[in-house]
Chain A
Amino acid sequence: MAELLVFPALIAYGEAAFAYAGELRGPGLAGRLGIWGVRIGWLAQTALLVAQALSSDGFPWATWAGSLNLFVWLVVTGYLVWGCKPGYRLLGLVVMPVAASLLALAWLGGGTGVRVVEDGGPLLAVHAGLMLAGLAGLTVAAGMAAIYLWEERRLKRRDSGVLRLRLPPLAALDRLEARVVLASLVVVSCGIAVGLAGFETGDFDVAMAVTLAIMAFYGAALVLRREGALAGRRLAWAVLGGFVLVGIVLPLTHFAS
């Protein structure tokens, strides 16, 4: 029965994705419906994850679809940190369609079922949890970068309606992007450190190489930002570029190996 919780989550996330599109006409009811959709969906998905965890003897999200389910929850949690503030609501315009689509994919792949799983131990759980949390953070940062570029484009084009939308100021987005990336890198590093405990020579694979490349890429972006060489739209493009590695290359290499 608990696996049915994926449907209210999916419906609520989908509703939020559509509602945020309505917010583009100006702040109002659509935005409030959007944030309530996110909250209700998040509660339903949290209940689903709890049910999955309770019915399992191991790590219930070891499959790609299961990982996706947990990943979506982490992304939405990250969004909720800022999304409740009216100024950051439109971030949901970028985040929620992705979250709803990925949750639907997780459901199709069987990652939302509640059944006894005996794979993995606590080490795997902590390692995978930290890695997914870090990657979710990078996804939220990519959402912020996309909003930055969109808002910057509107300002550059001198769009007369730019102040009618409640968008976060550019400088705030730039700062938050950098902080979220930094926090995500710390979390991913912790995940790698935990993973090293069970690492044996010969285990090194393409996915690990890609993970290290992602870390190096984002790390370099942060260093360049600190040096004043990478700010504003340049940083936003860099964060989006990094997200291509996170969203496409890493999953492909991880589940292929």
Chain B
Amino acid sequence: MKLALVGVSHHRAPIELRERVAVDTAGATRLAAEIADGCEAVVLSTCNRTELYLASSADEPLEERAVGALLELAGASAEALDQVVYRLADESAVLHLFRVAAGLDSMVPGEGEILGQVKDAFEAGSTGPLLDRVFSMAVHAGRKARVETSIGESPASIPAAAAALAHQVFDGLEGRTVLLVGAGRMSDATARNLRSRGARIVAVANRTEAHGETLASRFGAETVPLAALGPTLATADVVVASTSAPGFVLEGAAIVAALRSRRGRPVLLVDLAVPRDVDPRLATIDGCFVYDVDDLDAVVTASLAGRRAEAVRAERIVADEVERLREWQASLAVVPAIASLRARAEEIRSAELARAERRLNALSQGDRAVVETVTAQIVAKLLHLPTVRLKEAAVGAEGVLYADVVRYLFGLDEHDA
């Protein structure tokens, strides 16, 4: 069986080229069906890559077909695309796919979305025995890498870092309340991240009322005046500040009094503004945690370093899974010999029982069933060890040799002919 992979990714192709060949799910299904043409095909298209996987048991020019399809997608940019296309075959293609599924080939190592995208591409593809197996094992490898390492656990962006810190303080954000001070883009992104984890955006305070109301209506929150943040501060669990004010917005006796009134109940103040919005001295108040944009950036940097360390472990898991697939593929070489051997044995058993038919007629129905079962068990037990040994041998280089020996010893070729 042959497997070919042709694709472009963020490693070598700029976004202008990648967007030329990007297809949605319906497009991927259509393209896979088109290029399959008697073989198996899967199209994986994400914002970072477009890859075409083709497999066939016959000797077909799979790579040429895939490159042609990709260049056709690129249209006028075909020449530029041709310079950055990568081509992989068989085991290299498998290793690449497994690494992609585990998030090891992503911009941010271990990012979580790619596994779902590989799964979707698999479901949308025109698959057969080989790609079914390869993609199922790729999804398994991706899942295993995430379960057995912490590669996907740490945050990879500032909004994600803010949400992860909030989770670390509050043990889940379900039902936690968030106050947004300022209606900037970062504040919006952070709020969306917090909401996706179950937090509730309860209030928005902004200098420009119209902007504040727009953001508040998006989250179903109320607007509060910047000058009267005290009561909301006393109850909110997370405060995200990102105004363009030249000085601190959260400072002074009223703010301190509001935070002290919480009596040690934790509050996370996330300051995304430059110049800063939150007076860092507020961190001295019991239960009050203040993180500015530099702190969050440092958290992201540290967690990315952690992800890279975990990536080494994930690579080992991927390599083990590739080896498993190789063993499975190798075992396919001896499957016909095993099938012939079992068929031959069954044929002999049936023939011998038929020859003894006259003598067996004297037996009761129950005794005949016993004879059937016992002879079948003898055949199964006799063939069990040779089958296992053949499969084991198939993993090494001598698998085909053993298969030939079995064929010769039992005269399977003469019989098949």
Contacts and interface: CB of A to CB of B under 8 A. Distances in A.
Interface of A: 26-28, 155-156, 158, 160-164, 166-172, 175, 228-234
B303 A164 contact: yes
B156 to A, nearest CB: 11
Contacts of A155: 165, 168-169, 289
Nearest to B284: A156
B166 to A, nearest CB: 10
B306 interface: yes
Interface in B150-177: 150, 154-155, 161, 164-165, 167-172
A48 B155 CA distance: 46
Contacts, number: 75
B291 A171 contact: no
B12 interface: no
A interface majority secondary structure = loop
B169 A169 contact: yes
Contacts of B287: 231-233
A71 B13 CA distance: 64
A232 B306 CA distance: 29
A26 B265 CA distance: 28
Given A163-B299, A170-B168, A231-B264, A156 B154 contact: no
B230 interface: no
Nearest to B167: A169
B283 interface: yes
B171 A171 contact: yes
Contacts of A27: 150
B150 A166 contact: yes
Nearest to A231: B264
B171 A162 contact: no
Contacts of A162: 165, 168, 299
Given A232-B266, A233-B264, A169 B286 contact: no
Contacts of A171: 169-171, 266
B327 interface: no
A232 B169 CA distance: 10
B254 interface: no
Given A160-B299, A162-B299, A163-B164, A234 B169 contact: no
A231 B172 CA distance: 18
A136 B291 CA distance: 37
Contacts of B290: 158
B309 A172 contact: no
B302 interface: yes
Given A26-B150, A156-B289, 4 more contacts: A27-B150, A163-B165, A230-B264, A231-B287
A28 B303 CA distance: 15
B279 interface: no
Choose among B165, B266, B290, B309 the residue with the greatest number of A CB atoms under 10 Å from its CB.
Answer: B266
